[in-house]
Structure 1
Amino acid sequence: MEQNLTYLLGSGGSEDMLVSYTSPTPNSSAAYEYAFDYSELHIICHPESVPAFAPTLFPVLYSLLFVTGLMGNALVVWILTVCMKIKTMTDVYLLNLTVSDLLLVFSLPFLVQYSIMSQWIFGSALCKIISSIYFIGFYSNVFFITIMSIDRYLAIVHSLHVQGIRTTALGVITSLAVWAVAILASMTDLIFFKEVNDNNQIKCLRHYPDGNYAWKTFSNFEVNILGWLIPVGVLIFCYHSILKYLQKCHTKSKYKAIKLVFIVVIVFFLSWTPVNIVLFLDSLRNMSIINDCQTGQRLDLAMELTEALSLVHCCLNPVIYAFVGEKFKKHLREAFKKSACFLSNCKDYRAFSGHSLDRHSSLHTKSSQLSSVGTVL
């Protein structure tokens, strides 16, 4: 059975200038099936073998990411909404970041099916919906990480000036604006993604009118600018300012906060930079600046690999932004204690109920108020 691997950030097919590469049965010669028309450039592009790991790696990887991403982010939503309640602007942003992670996670089962069956079986409507959900999740994820970085910068470096301003209501309004921008940024994908019959196989691909690949290049540059260049610039400014501020502090949480700053920036950079580099190179190929056949083949495989790497980020966000926080970990421990007592019919269940949790929370609140660094980071 043929194994077809496609990708969303740069989905391939006969209607798209990107690759849709195929791995036939073990007894036949594996080959790339290119949608990029090199004949217009007077180039003969011979097929190459697909790496043996490709047909198995991506379905397994996407399945693992789905399970871990769903469990981790669902746990964060539960703790935030049931145990902690939403009380601060940071909580609002963290909840919205988790929802954006879940949007990316919910698209993964469709990628698994697409990888295994080599074609789209869910209909044209779901083709548009799932592709749009994926891109809305992508943009909102990056935007909320950026907003949280700005929020941390203001709360730590300019804490005196923003007292009373960082309210839950303002967090909700800002979050609604972020979702609106993410939806607008994803409109081209909602418009152009549709079911396409490609060599008697039904696929979910971008279909551009009259073969106008300018829209494809526009989409790539949109991801590069909105999804990487601007966020990276904001992150570097915010966390550089935070580090300069922390160097002047003498709190016990100073070095832990500095470590967390480096983790946030490095993980973001490693997760999203490779796929953005490949998208930029793909734009150069669309504009015929890159017209080398072998380079084009490598770009197609690189797109698949780097997109899978970027999706790992939605599984790491709960660890980076939630589980490392002392307040969140305290509520998580209390929640597990109550669950364990409930399941084992613990006689001292009341000891772990709301009264105990409130007492611990109030103690933590008083101690955390001693340091804005500890509260925000």
Structure 2
Amino acid sequence: MEDEYLDPGFFINSTESSQEHECFLRFRKVFVPCVYLAVFTCGLIGNSLVLVIYIFYQKLKSLTDVFLMNLPLADLVFVCTLPFWAYAGLHEWVFGELMCRTLLGIYAINFYTSMLTLTCITVDRFIAVVQATKAYNQQAARRSWGKAICTLIWVASLLVSLPQIIYGSVLHLDKHVCDYHGEEISTVILATQMALGFFLPLLAMIVCYSVIVRTLLRARGFRKHKSLKIIFLVVAVFLLTQTPFNLVKLIRSTSWEYHAMTSFSYVVVVTEAVAYLRACLNPVLYAFVGLKFRKNCLKLVKDAGCLPYLGATSQSKSSEDNSKTCSASHHAEATSMFQL
């Protein structure tokens, strides 16, 4: 979104044939809008569903629940910008400079908000698992801080994203494009942004999750294996989707030679598309893995009248399931990764 539209690498390098460059332009014109619209559709449905479930069906019982609402909210704002970029990929940028700066800022803010929120979830789960008794006794106090922490996350993300907002503009090359000036946002600025908004939070996540895994392996909780599975999913998916694109951006900012390489432009477009998949995967990773969320989702479908027969078939099981859940909930709280 932010790099592929104006980079000099999209123009013909003296050592590359015009045929190769035209092939890349055709690939980008088809690939980019298709990916953006697919992510927009899946992300809009998934994140909207998560927000509806949390607002109307699922009480915010822990600090993690408050943070989990922040993730789909950020992703929902982000996916709503993708139709603009899809249109610009097919044609050109026609939405003006103010909208250009706004959408560039939204992308950056979404990335840092998600990363900082994940870091806060990690720290909260670290306290809940490693210091379970203390965390349980201070649960109400910790939950009251959730909204304030989320506000600070958005403010911090806005501040870190200011270079993209300030230097974003509409330029006319072979067509009107929206991007920020690469020479204005230097490698030092990009490296600082990624250090504060990516690598340091990632280091905190790795350290905290390592201690959490060791603690859960020593515990005798019956749900510890599921907790470990969720932990590895959280870390692995974020690494696989976000690390390649961020490293590519940093590498590309170090030398103009990369801007003039059509082959490297393929890498930018593909890794960026993979990074955007986070907006689709977050609802799965942080909500749909939870048993309670799935039950609330079924309640929503039933209340909407989509499955009127659901009540008759599930009513006989409800009392039995409730008795099992109540007896196990207290024991699971200390060792479960996400109480969803």
- The two structures have a TM-score, normalised by structure 2, of 0.87
Cα distance change of structure 1 residues 122 and 366 upon mapping to structure 2, 3 Å threshold: farther
Which of residues 43, 61, 75 in structure 2 aligns to 1:87?
Answer: 61
Matched residues, percent identical?
27
Q: Match for residue 376 of structure 1? A: 338
Q: CA deviation at 1:359?
A: 11
Tell me whether 1:184 sits opposite 2:154 in the alignment. no
Cα distance change of structure 1 residues 361 and 121 upon mapping to structure 2, 3 Å threshold: farther
Q: CA deviation at 1:12?
A: 4.8
Taking CA–CA contacts closer than 8 Å with sequence separation of 6 or more, which of the two structures ends up with the larger relative contact order?
2
8 Å Cα contact 1:221/1:283 also seen in 2: no
Q: Distance in 2 between matches of 1:56 and 1:203?
A: 17
Q: CA deviation at 1:276?
A: 1.6
Q: Match for residue 256 of structure 1? A: 226
Q: Match for residue 303 of structure 2? A: 338
Q: Match for residue 4 of structure 1? A: none
Q: CA deviation at 1:263?
A: 1.1
Q: Match for residue 169 of structure 1? A: 144
Cα distance change of structure 1 residues 292 and 348 upon mapping to structure 2, 3 Å threshold: closer
Q: CA deviation at 1:155?
A: 0.8
Q: Match for residue 41 of structure 2? A: 67
Q: Match for residue 37 of structure 1? A: none
Q: CA deviation at 1:357?
A: 9.0
Q: Match for residue 264 of structure 2? A: 299
8 Å Cα contact 2:302/2:308 also seen in 1: no
Q: CA deviation at 1:84?
A: 0.9
Q: Match for residue 144 of structure 1? A: 117
When you count helix as a share of all residues, which structure comes out higher?
2
Q: Match for residue 206 of structure 1? A: 180
What CA deviation, in whole Å up to 9, does each residue of 1:86-124 have, x standing for no partner? 33211110000111111221121111111111x111112
Aligned pairs for 1:1-377 within 5 A: 7-8=1-2, 10=3, 12-13=5-6, 18-19=7-8, 21=10, 32-33=11-12, 44-47=14-17, 48-49=20-21, 50-51=23-24, 53-117=27-91, 119-162=92-135, 163-165=137-139, 167-199=142-174, 201-207=175-181, 213=183, 215-286=185-256, 291=257, 296-339=261-304, 342-343=305-306, 364=325, 367-371=328-332, 372-374=334-336, 376=338
Number of residue pairs aligned between Structure 1 and Structure 2: 330
Q: Match for residue 25 of structure 1? A: none
Please give the secondary structure, in 1, of the residue aligned with 2:177: strand
Q: CA deviation at 1:54?
A: 3.0
Q: Distance in 2 between matches of 1:112 and 1:71?
A: 18
Cα distance change of structure 1 residues 270 and 348 upon mapping to structure 2, 3 Å threshold: closer
Please give the secondary structure, in 2, of the residue aligned with 1:370: helix
With 316-325 and 85-94 compared, the bigger mean Cα shift is at 85-94
Cα distance change of structure 1 residues 361 and 314 upon mapping to structure 2, 3 Å threshold: farther
- The two structures have a TM-score, normalised by structure 1, of 0.79
8 Å Cα contact 1:59/1:112 also seen in 2: yes
Q: CA deviation at 1:264?
A: 1.1
8 Å Cα contact 2:4/2:268 also seen in 1: no
What CA deviation, in whole Å up to 9, does each residue of 1:167-208 have, x standing for no partner? 322111111111110010111111111222224x22212147
Q: CA deviation at 1:11?
A: 5.0
Which runs of 5 or more residues in structure 2 are unaligned? none
8 Å Cα contact 1:195/1:202 also seen in 2: yes
CA RMSD of aligned residues (A): 2.8
Cα distance change of structure 1 residues 175 and 154 upon mapping to structure 2, 3 Å threshold: same
| Bigger CA radius of gyration | 1
What CA deviation, in whole Å up to 9, does each residue of 1:215-235 have, x standing for no partner? 232442144213321122111
Q: CA deviation at 1:133?
A: 1.3
